Amino acid sequence: MYNPISCEFFDQLDVAIKRKIPSTIIYFNEEEILTVKGLVHTLIVIKGKEYLLLDNKQQIRLDLVISFNGKKYIEI
């Protein structure tokens, strides 16, 4: 089940995209927690689920993001 993200999180992503801010993202992937660093290139929707697309083409589902640039969005 997909849970929409908060407006605050969307705004932070939008700023990171427009200002090309190098970002650190901590997120769930299957059964593990991963950390990636990179530039958020754009936001996309695939089959009704929102993803961020990094400059290296990696896709991360937004409702699985635990922390974006140090700001927590979901509890683990």
Asked if residues 27 and 37 have their Cβ atoms less than 8 Å apart, the reply is no
Instruction: Please tell me the predicted confidence (pLDDT) of residue 2.
Output: 83
Centroid of chain to Cα 71: 11
pLDDT interval class at 4 (50, 70, 90)? confident
CATH number of 7-72: 2.30.30.100
Q: What is the pTM of this model?
A: 0.90
Q: What digits encode the pLDDT tens for the residues 42-63? A: 999 999 999 999 999 999 999 9
